[in-house]
Structure 1
Amino acid sequence: MAMLPRAARPAINRLAQVTPIAARAGFHSTAQQFAPLRETEQRIKSVKNIEKITKSMKMIASTKLSKAQRAMAAAKAYGAANQEIFKNSEAVAGEGGRQLFIVVSSDKGLCGGIHSSVSKRTKAEFKNLGGEDASIVVLGEKSKSQLARALPQSMALSFNQVGKDIPTFADASAIADQIIKSGVKFDKVNLIYNKYISALSFESDIVEVFSEDSLRNAPGFKLYEQEDDVTKDLAEFAFANAIFAALVEGHAAEINSKRNAMDNASKNAGDMITSLNMLYNRARQATITNDLVDIITGASAL
């Protein structure tokens, strides 16, 4: 350094300070220290575009959530009425009765673990059955693909085009009617759906629905004379009620989970943009420093 002009010494000292910083970062050579500036700049633009998309999806989910919550509050009355019927009638499934599991999910993704939650609960319930005869009906393509791999022999029926909009009672009635007409035999239905807990959480839950024979043989119903048609209509109506309540509450939990997932994705994109900007600035500073060193070294050599 004693042979270099005095004007070149500050640049050399700055270069000596940059090198230990890069070494601490775990880089072993100049080529490995920083990504090319153009490539890093393109990555920053790509992540910013992703951030815009996730923020837009979060806004859309937030708008839909208020409507879904209002529909859920109205639909809960249907589920509460069902539970009162089954509770007061003391209906139970007969010994060795056939069980039907209806798994409520949807066709949409990008909503966290909303679909795997009901799939895991279904697998756990099947494990507890110990090999008893049971069938599965899946509402939605997402859980269908998960359960078809784990329990292919129990899959009886599936429905798609679920989750595009807030479910209606007509949708639930059509599903219940199709299940009854399909010939699937059951004494008790276990509706597995995602229960809306709060704006930050949900959990899988099970609602029990009993068949026509179970209602007719219930102690509370035996006290009264009843016609077969009335019991059949009541059982079918209660079945559609339960499906409707589970569909609407599951839809609200799904929209809420999607909003949270998009919020987390936007935050992760923001963190990635900060890291890439820091990497870009370091690479740019290193390039400028190297250019200055080359200029000064060349000038001193002349």
Structure 2
Amino acid sequence: MSALFSSARTAARVAPSTRAFSSTPAPQATLREIEGRIKSVGNIGKITKSMKMVAASRLARAQRMMNEAKAYGAANNAVFEQSDAAKTEAKVEKILYIVASSDRGLCGGIHSSVAKAARKDILSGEGAGKEIRVVALGEKPKQQMSRGDGAKDIEMSFSQIGKSVPTFNDALAIADKIEAENFEFDKVKVIYNKFLSVISYEAVSLDIYSMKALQGSPAFAAYEVEGDELAGDLSSFALANAIYAGLVEGFAAEISARRNAMENASKNADEMSAKYQMQFNRMRQAAITNELVDIITGASAL
């Protein structure tokens, strides 16, 4: 048995290998390739610095418009607090989520922030176990909400958002489109990015109650109003207010996030350019040293 095993081992050593393994090291970049990388990184750094300057110039106007738009969100809160509509929240069975962001990228996690907040509220928050509809304001939140099980809840989406500072007419047009679909809802939650500072933001929501919720509130019932016109107008105006406040404040947060993202990208480009420049200098010095060695060796041989 031992003789059979030793002969089999000897045959395996002699037989040619069926699989060839290569141990050739990866080729190193040449001086010309590194020089090309330095130029490419430098061009990227110029672009990111320009985009940072553009975002910084737009940020002041966005903040000014945001401060003006906050009055619209405060008006909504005053209406629902004074009408005591929040006490009807126990009867909420149908919720319409409006996820507000934009179409543009290169601004960090600004879009995923609102999508995560909306998905969390739908799955484990107020929307858990209730009839849900989702309206996406912008292509980016639409893409984010389309992942996983959220795609079936998207009823509408709007594009061409975020190119300029949103106006109240834009919000009014969006609210009219939503109301034209005749969605049945007891409550609307507008989820947007709240501007905290030039370096931070967070996803929050503005709540709007339906006409039925307003009519069922104790404070609103104290007014003798015939018909549903007043409650319907209040609900429609509150929806447009909330959309406008969310779009404008989200726009300011996006511009600030883009400025920070471009600043970080510029710093990374500068660091990478310095790294490649050091590598280029070392390789160039090594090449010069080798040429000098060859010259001295040839002279010594003569």
TM-score by length of 2: 0.88
Q: Does 2:221 match 1:222?
A: yes
1:46 alignment partner in structure 2 = 40
Offset from partner CA, 1:238-263 (integer Å, 9 cap, x none): 11011100110000000000000000
Offset from partner CA, 1:9-53 (integer Å, 9 cap, x none): xxxxxxxxxxxxxxxxxxxx9985x52111100100011100000
Q: Does 2:120 match 1:121?
A: no
Q: Quick one: which amino acid aligns to residue 151 of structure 2?
A: P
Aligned 1:140-159 pairs, distance under 5 A: 140-150=138-148, 151-159=150-158
Q: Describe the SS at the equivalent of 2:89.
A: coil
Q: CA deviation at 1:127?
A: 1.1
* Sequence identity percentage: 53
Q: Is the CA contact (8 Å cut-off) linking 1:118 and 1:192 kept in structure 2?
A: yes
How far apart, in 2, do the equivalents of 1:115 and 1:30 lie?
43
1:93 alignment partner in structure 2 = 89
2:65 alignment partner in structure 1 = 71
Aligned 1:243-262 pairs, distance under 5 A: 243-262=243-262
2:234 alignment partner in structure 1 = 234
Offset from partner CA, 1:96-123 (integer Å, 9 cap, x none): 5200100001000001100000111111
How far apart, in 1, do the equivalents of 2:26 and 2:204 lie?
55
Q: Describe the SS at the equivalent of 1:189.
A: strand
Q: CA deviation at 1:222?
A: 1.0
Q: CA deviation at 1:131?
A: 3.4
Q: Is the CA contact (8 Å cut-off) linking 2:98 and 2:188 kept in structure 1?
A: yes
1:297 alignment partner in structure 2 = 297
TM-score by length of 1: 0.88
Q: CA deviation at 1:183?
A: 2.0
The total of aligned residue pairs comes to 274
Q: Quick one: which amino acid aligns to residue 116 of structure 1?
A: S
Structure 2 residues not aligned, in runs of 5+: 1-23
How far apart, in 1, do the equivalents of 2:102 and 2:212 lie?
31
Q: CA deviation at 1:130?
A: 3.0
Q: Is the CA contact (8 Å cut-off) linking 2:92 and 2:187 kept in structure 1?
A: no
Offset from partner CA, 1:175-196 (integer Å, 9 cap, x none): 0010010122111001110000
Q: Is the CA contact (8 Å cut-off) linking 2:121 and 2:128 kept in structure 1?
A: no
Structure 1 residues not aligned, in runs of 5+: 1-28
